[in-house]
Structure 1
């Protein structure tokens, strides 16, 4: 079970779904939600944003004042959202005895958000984070930095959160260490799920595609193993014709009415910059449900 869950409180409108997903990840048991709001360092942020493009100190000074004002607004919004969510979710503020769904605490510090999430996340059971910041696109760089740095499972919230994450858990399976680690950290969900589907995409077992055949064989072994923990585990093969593998997976996930997707974080190279390959990027950009990842 996840007893200590870390999640950012950014002050953005997207926070509410992150909060809701983190609470759902507690699976109804008393859980401590550790909310973290990170203020920008105005001087460091201004220097980084200005670079060499501003002449003199006046422009930088004005930028620092703007960042400071934005920090005040964002912190106030984060505190308000934290208080409102705790009140409606029956969370006791503080680290004392747990009641209802559990306890919650808000930590506010100054620095780089990704670095702070990594520092606090390494000692949490689970980290829950949003994909978007405001109305922007999926923040792949932020997600990748945190996933690579925490060494813990990362649950990435979507635009909506199912009432329960346990109705249908889908495992996007490949015969890789990253996928195996993702399955290992997802066991609290897998053992309690109403249905678990182990999906392979385009992994036709043919003589000319030995690597794909290897994934199919390992998928069947995984189904056998997980069936010892949950009787409702099935293999699901997603054929791949001319379309993209990510699109095929997302379509199958929708057809299965999945409530949680489990997958490894990996790309096609050894560099850290390649952790989110094209497949992972497409899934994160298009998945309508929370995605649990491990690198």
Structure 2
């Protein structure tokens, strides 16, 4: 190549020095962000993703921003192909000057893995081309094939994960046997867990005479275990809460979370329970406030929280898992008896909870006797039940488990008394205010529910009670009556019409009663007049705990009468 005029060489040298300064600044900024601006080393990437030559070399234009690595000079340039070495100025400047030279550039040589390119020959030409603002460059391209998808935006860590994906697909052949399957993850080490899941599934499915191969077991695992759980993840909308993760990430997390919950709770936790717990568990500031604020001063649960993250299918049962605290006393089995009476109409799984004061009591014969009696009572009713023993305050133990169930059933022995200090000290009030699930209070057992009464005042939590009353009326074939108790400032007829419109749209017949006066007394009077077996009403309307302490709650006043089972909705 002829020696270029000094003017062009000087200008090229100035360009090189400017790019060197930019390279140092980019390196500093990426380090501060905890990232890397290194080019990807081709050989390491090739080995990681198990790439092999897939065809002959071809000459074509390739996008410059898709060139992300180099075969031998990945230390000499950064990811933007800015020069990193001061002693490289002369070669870089000669390439820059040659742009205007009649000799021009020969095509560079690259390897291609997926959508990413790695320079074999022509690193300086790529650097100069990007400096000149070019979009494409002519190259001899040697394609390589890998089972893992590779794109130019990936970091080395992501390449390592892609390599694990390639090894996983090579073992399971899922990309061939289940075309279109997407099992990408964002954290290294996850594919080892998936292989363990597949192996466990294979062992559970194998017989004494026959055992499936790993690819066959992987297909069965994908169809029967993985895909149903991913469908659950989509139904619950979990990716909205974890936008930078994949469905397979959440599958692994959900499996781990379920195992941890099963270990902690003493119950066999389903994937649906684990998913609900995952989306309702407080995080960040909300979690900090829950830890700092005393239980009896926490704000009431917002209306609709109990079904916010769930898609309620009219064809499915609403209450499957029911939390049933039991004391073990002779009269302490009423609540379980009431729940088991419901088993004739609702497919339920009672989950018992026996709370003791000390760790020694947890393993005592008395505690184990309570567990055994719980299981036997459920079995006698033809229902599978489980019971766990926990140490600590009973109201806290119940609250922490509400996220694992659909309904909380509590025996009402000591309803909150009217005075503010008594309300503040009431564990039942804390549970009713802060439970994210509806609460069934049981002062007495009703063997068969035939008539239900809905207390409806048009509030948001009364709307939740209306939803539940409509469900029970249809699924259990019950007689429904609606009572509205309002003061002189509100229009009773307007509120009644809202309930009437909702029920009429769903072809649900109901009787309507309008009362005035003290709400609790009027509601109990309506229940007696209609011979109702079950009352449904909204919970605390004031989120501010101090307002309820001073003003009180209609739900508390109704509970103090201890007349009939009541479901309090959030």
The TM-score normalised by the length of structure 1 is 0.71
CA offsets 1:157-209 (integer angstroms, 9 cap, x no match): 11x211112x0011000111011122334454222232011111246xxxx74
Return the match for 1:236 from 497, 503, 512.
512
Q: Which residue of 2 aligns with 1:216?
A: 496
Q: Which residue of 1 aligns with 2:393?
A: 112
Give the Cα separation in 1 of the matches to 2:471 and 2:371: 26
* CA pair 150-278 structure 1, distance change in 2 beyond 3 A: closer
Structure 2 segments unaligned to the other structure (5+ residues): 1-316, 417-422
Q: How much has 1:12 moved relative to structure 2?
A: 3.3
* CA pair 77-263 structure 1, distance change in 2 beyond 3 A: farther
Secondary structure of the corresponding residue to residue 5 of structure 1? strand
Structure number with bigger Rg? 2
Q: How does 1:127-206 map to 2 (within 5 A)?
A: 127-132=408-413, 137-139=414-416, 141-158=426-443, 160-165=444-449, 167-191=450-474, 192-202=476-486
Q: How does 1:10-89 map to 2 (within 5 A)?
A: 10-41=327-358, 79-89=368-378
Give the Cα separation in 1 of the matches to 2:486 and 2:347: 41
Q: Comparing 107-116 with 76-85, which one deviates more in the overlay?
A: 76-85
Give the Cα separation in 2 of the matches to 1:275 and 1:21: 29
Return the match for 1:285 from 549, 552, 560.
560
* CA pair 251-77 structure 1, distance change in 2 beyond 3 A: farther
* CA pair 12-147 structure 1, distance change in 2 beyond 3 A: same
Give the Cα separation in 2 of the matches to 1:187 and 1:10: 33
CA offsets 1:28-71 (integer angstroms, 9 cap, x no match): 444211101122258xxxxxxxxxxxxxxxxxxxxxxxxx7xx5
Q: Which residue of 2 aligns with 1:266?
A: 540
Q: Is the 8 A contact 1:169 1:196 kept in 2?
A: yes
Q: How much has 1:79 moved relative to structure 2?
A: 4.5
Return the match for 1:248 from 509, 515, 522.
522
Secondary structure of the corresponding residue to residue 467 of structure 2? helix
Q: How much has 1:110 moved relative to structure 2?
A: 1.0
Q: How much has 1:220 moved relative to structure 2?
A: 2.3
* CA pair 213-131 structure 1, distance change in 2 beyond 3 A: same
* CA pair 275-124 structure 1, distance change in 2 beyond 3 A: farther
CA offsets 1:223-251 (integer angstroms, 9 cap, x no match): 324x52x4xx32322433xx532112101
* CA pair 275-105 structure 1, distance change in 2 beyond 3 A: farther
Q: Which residue of 1 aligns with 2:143?
A: none
Give the Cα separation in 2 of the matches to 1:113 and 1:201: 34
The count of corresponding residues between Structure 1 and Structure 2 is 242
Structure 1 segments unaligned to the other structure (5+ residues): 43-67, 92-99
Q: How much has 1:77 moved relative to structure 2?
A: 5.4
CA RMSD of aligned residues (A): 2.8
The TM-score normalised by the length of structure 2 is 0.39
* CA pair 286-238 structure 1, distance change in 2 beyond 3 A: farther
Give the Cα separation in 2 of the matches to 1:144 and 1:280: 10
Q: Answer yes or no: is 1:4 the counterpart of 2:321.
A: yes
CA offsets 1:234-289 (integer angstroms, 9 cap, x no match): 2322433xx5321121011012111110000125x441254583422221111421
Give the Cα separation in 1 of the matches to 2:389 and 2:501: 46
Q: Which has the higher contact order (CA 8 A, sep 6+)?
A: 1
Secondary structure of the corresponding residue to residue 122 of structure 1? helix
Q: Which residue of 1 aligns with 2:31?
A: none
Q: How much has 1:105 moved relative to structure 2?
A: 1.1
* CA pair 103-34 structure 1, distance change in 2 beyond 3 A: same
- Relative to its length, the structure with more helix (as a share) is 2
Give the Cα separation in 1 of the matches to 2:367 and 2:530: 35
Q: Which residue of 2 aligns with 1:61?
A: none
Q: Which residue of 2 aligns with 1:47?
A: none
* CA pair 105-255 structure 1, distance change in 2 beyond 3 A: same
Secondary structure of the corresponding residue to residue 457 of structure 2? coil
